[in-house]
């Protein structure tokens, strides 16, 4: 059994804050300080260029990739870290489209995160081969997969509502129709059990600063099924994915397997922070995380609905089709969230009307949920949110 009192002690959480936004930016694991200080002083400072070999910097994207891989059911050697998620979406889509050259449709859904759709738009325009980005409602994805579809590009858990797609079923349908599937696991990795190998996923990508607590801008990951890893063209053919980067050939030859999905020089300090953050998961069972997350979410939904009748549940009521977040709708959602943050309950707002709360059992327990709902109920029932200071918008919501 995962000891959640022990995992909570591994985080630095500011006093007076109930942090329900780990689905957007995970909090700081205590071990990151020492690891970063060492990477800066002992590795960069003392070893200088020698650290690429002596401190293992050059293999860090693969070693950290294996640690992330364990959390998403990926076999060793099938995940590599680097770049941002937007870049990895682009790369996975370009590679996948190359593998299905005769078809012209990329299928996604309207609940997908905008950058995924924007990157697809940009890529399809650059390819100039007449591809079409077809966007349907999340419920209609399965029935929209037909023999015109080259690639299905889906985010497993909807960032607004927390609605969760049925990964094995969509993969089975896509494969039966001759299409490939790319999964964005931004709201899945570290949030719920994922098994990319058992589900026979083709490509999967995700970020690490949300439920994996890697820190702002921490590097993304990409998984390519071993059956495709040696045939997929990496599309972003950077030197770090070359078969022999230090041969300095004038032409590109892709590296073996997942190595080819590397692009340029890895962000070592960010990777070191992420590597330390992943220590938190060493004794964690994803099944325990899921059970605790559903328990917290169900409690949260029950209490908010009982005490705040103006907040309308935007997430599926059935935990089986929900990720690890709970969202409510309210036309004044922005001001309400600002008022909650002012009182130490930190969630976030997503336009046009969504109040979003991430439930993360590593460091959030039942008593936090109870305390948070007390504050939410007070802010709602006294209309404390209805004040000019809570309507001011920052650049980031």
Ligand X SMILES: *Cc1c(COP(=O)(O)O)cnc(C)c1O
Positions touching ligand X (CB under 6 A) are: 84-86, 113, 115-116, 155, 159, 184, 186-187, 207
Q: Least distance from C-beta 159 to ligand X, angstroms?
A: 5
Looking at residue 173, the DSSP 8-state letter turns out to be H
Are β-strands 105-109 and 348-350 bridged in parallel, bridged antiparallel, or unpaired? Answer: unpaired
Q: Which two tokens stand for residue 337?
A: 């969230």
Which residues are known to be catalytic?
A: 113, 184, 209-210, 356
**Closest CB to ligand X among residues 78, 218:** 218
Closest separation between CB of residue 184 and ligand X, Å?
4
DSSP helix/strand/coil, 152:
strand
* Structural contact between residues 154 and 179, judged by C-beta atoms closer than 8 angstroms: no
Minimum separation from the CB atom of position 90 to ligand X (A): 10
- Please, which residue, 203 or 385, has the CB nearer to ligand X? 203
CB of residue 263 to ligand X, shortest distance in Å: 14
> SS3 of 328, please?
strand
Closer to ligand X at the Cβ: 155 or 213?
155
Q: What secondary structure does DSSP assign to 257-278, as a single string?
A: GGGGG--S---HHHHHHHHHHH
**Cα(118)–Cα(21) distance, rounded to whole angstroms?**
24
User: Which residue, 242 or 356, is less far from ligand X as judged by CB?
Assistant: 356
| Rounded alpha-carbon distances, angstroms, from residue 17 to 20, 197, 266, 345, 365 | 9, 38, 34, 6, 13
Place of tokens 């941002």: 84
d(CA 195, CA 192): 10
CB 231 within 8 A of CB 256: no
**Distances from the Cα of 200 to the Cαs of 75, 101, 170, 196, in angstroms?**
12, 21, 11, 6
Task: Select 184 or 353, whichever has its Cβ closest to ligand X.
Answer: 184
d(CA 62, CA 74): 13
Instruction: Please say which residue, 159 or 328, places its beta carbon nearer to ligand X.
Output: 159
Instruction: For the chain, report the end-to-end CA distance as a whole number of angstroms.
Output: 36
């Amino acid at each position: 059994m995962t000891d959640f009192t022990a995992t909570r002690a591994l985080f630095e959480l500011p006093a007076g804050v109930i942090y329900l936004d780990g689905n957007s930016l995970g909090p700081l694991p205590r071990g990151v300080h020492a690891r970063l200080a060492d990477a800066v002083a002992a590795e960069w400072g003392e070893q200088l260029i020698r650290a690429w070999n002596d401190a293992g910097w050059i293999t860090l994207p693969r070693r950290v990739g294996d640690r992330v891989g364990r959390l998403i059911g990926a076999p060793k050697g099938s995940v590599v870290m680097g770049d941002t998620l937007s870049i990895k979406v682009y790369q996975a889509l370009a590679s996948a489209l190359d593998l299905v050259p005769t078809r012209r449709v990329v299928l996604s859904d309207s609940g997908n995160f905008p950058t995924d759709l924007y990157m697809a738009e940009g890529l399809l325009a650059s390819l100039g081969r007449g591809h079409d980005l077809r966007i349907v409602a999340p419920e209609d994805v399965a029935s929209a997969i037909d023999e015109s579809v080259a690639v299905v590009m889906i985010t497993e858990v909807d960032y607004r509502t927390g609605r969760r797609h049925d990964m094995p079923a969509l993969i089975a349908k896509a494969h039966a129709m001759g299409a490939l599937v790319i999964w964005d696991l931004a709201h899945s990795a570290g949030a719920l059990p994922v098994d990319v190998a058992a589900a026979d996923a083709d490509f999967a990508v995700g970020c690490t600063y949300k439920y994996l607590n890697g820190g702002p801008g921490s590097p993304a990951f990409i998984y390519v099924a071993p059956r495709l890893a040696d045939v997929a063209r990496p599309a972003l053919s950077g030197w770090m994915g070359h078969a022999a980067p230090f041969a300095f050939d004038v032409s590109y030859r892709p590296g073996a397997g997942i190595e080819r999905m590397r692009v340029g020089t890895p962000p070592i300090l960010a990777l070191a922070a992420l590597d330390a953050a992943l220590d938190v998961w060493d004794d964690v069972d994803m099944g325990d995380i899921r059970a605790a997350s559903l328990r917290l979410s169900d409690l949260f939904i029950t209490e908010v609905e009982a005490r705040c009748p103006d907040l309308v549940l935007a997430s599926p009521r059935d935990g089986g089709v929900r990720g690890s977040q709970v969202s409510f709708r309210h036309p004044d959602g922005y001001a309400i969230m600002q008022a909650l943050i002012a009182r130490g309950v930190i969630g976030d707002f997503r336009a046009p009307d969504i109040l979003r709360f991430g439930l993360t059992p590593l460091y959030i327990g039942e008593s936090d949920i109870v305390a948070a709902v007390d504050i939410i109920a007070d802010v709602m029932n006294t209309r404390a949110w209805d004040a000019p200071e809570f309507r001011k918008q920052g650049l980031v919501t």
